[in-house]
Structure 1
Amino acid sequence: MPELPAPETMGISLDERFGLLYRELQRIAHRELGASRRTSLHTTVLVHEAYLRMEAGAVRDMGRLPFLALAGRVMRCVLVDHVRERQALKRGGDQVRVTLETEPGVADGGMPRIDVLAIERGMQALAGLEPRLVTVVECRFHAGMEFAEIAEYLGVSERTAQRDWRRARAFLLDMLQA
């Protein structure tokens, strides 16, 4: 069963929620930008841009995990928009490079390096086939959640969350290597 908001977080404003979870949001933003940091976008800018894009009313009665999942999704969109804008200016130059890693915080994990737009195309293809797998990728890869948190958020077992991650990761790697 998905996490229910704690009574003390019911009706909390977007400003207050960002204040309470700011460090976690910075961690998510740091992951989104990747180890190479080959972008003009900085962690703080990414967090603040996500704040500006989120609708205040949408988060009022959200628990911590749904909020972090939403924040990760919004940051992914901000980063994709930023990369597209840079490519429009430089016709394909300076793409931000990130990796599909197996563990949060691991810079390379032995995986091939890919670009943000390639991941986005893979996510869109996966969404047409298995929407839950997209949510697992957003939670694991973009929001940096542990499998137990993903399982709680989705209302599935931890083993199912791990299995979904492996399936999604394999699908994305196949698409990216094709």
Structure 2
Amino acid sequence: MKVDISLLLERLQTGEVDAEMELMNCVYFELKKIAAKALAGEQREVSLMTTDLVHEAWVRLLDQEGRVRFKNNLHFFGAAAEAMRRILVDRARRRSREKHGGKLVRIGLDDVEIEEPAAASEILDINDALEKLDGIDSRKAGIVRLRYFAGLGFEEIAAVTQYSLATVQRDWAYARAWLKVEIDRSRK
């Protein structure tokens, strides 16, 4: 996240035609890193690769007029991580629905069993618990999003949020414990 994209974001907001392509060129590899971390917990599916997740998130980041509205680099990458999280949650929900065979064992053409990734239910559990935490303490939920979904380190989160490193580490420890308890409670 060393690239300063603030100027490109400003140019994009003013409607400069080439700013979108320049922005994508500047942030593409960083978005791929975020996507790889977001997909790390899932079993690889043929239907969703890192590149696919980046492209789908990119589309979601743009509004109807093709302009993004972000304050700075950190806001942009946080929004990208959130878009990827939502994409994974949406996909997990679709896979879990019975009408899509979410709980059925799949049989391939050669009678080989192909099971749905276990991570789908985990993503949904984390998302539900994270939404509850967001209602209770949005700062801690934001730190979880940056750490878990964007893959940022504690120092990076402190820089992004402008909280002290100690606060970020305390909030992470608390939020992690709270989410574990909440997820365990919801599974009972």
TM-score (structure 2 length as normaliser): 0.75
Give the aligned partner of residue 91 of structure 1.
102
Higher relative contact order (CA 8 A, sep 6+): 1
1:122 aligns with 2:138: no
Residue correspondence of structure 1 range 1-178 to structure 2 within 5 A: 6-7=6-7, 10-12=10-12, 13-39=19-45, 40-55=47-62, 56-59=66-69, 61-88=70-97, 89-92=100-103, 94-97=116-119, 115-178=122-185
Give deviations 1:113-171, integer Å, cap 9, x for gaps.
x7110111111110110011111011111111121221122121111111111111111
Contact 2:89 2:124 in 1 (8 A): yes
Aligned to 1:176, the other structure's residue is in SS state helix
Q: Percent identity?
A: 32
Contact 2:35 2:50 in 1 (8 A): yes
Larger Rg: 2
Contact 1:33 1:96 in 2 (8 A): no
- Supply the distance in 2 between the matched residues of 1:85 and 1:156 (Cα, whole angstroms): 37
Give the aligned partner of residue 111 of structure 1.
none
Aligned to 1:121, the other structure's residue is in SS state helix
Q: Which letter does structure 1 place at the counterpart of 2:92? A: V
- Supply the distance in 1 between the matched residues of 2:80 and 2:60 (Cα, whole angstroms): 10
Q: Which letter does structure 2 place at the counterpart of 1:97? A: A
Moved more, 121-130 or 36-45: 36-45
- Supply the distance in 1 between the matched residues of 2:24 and 2:131 (Cα, whole angstroms): 28
- Supply the distance in 1 between the matched residues of 2:127 and 2:43 (Cα, whole angstroms): 18
Flag the 1:33–1:143 CA change in 2: closer, same or farther, 3 A.
same
Flag the 1:174–1:25 CA change in 2: closer, same or farther, 3 A.
same
Aligned to 2:32, the other structure's residue is in SS state helix
TM-score (structure 1 length as normaliser): 0.78
Q: Which letter does structure 2 place at the counterpart of 1:53? A: R
Aligned to 2:152, the other structure's residue is in SS state coil
Q: Which letter does structure 2 place at the counterpart of 1:22? A: Y
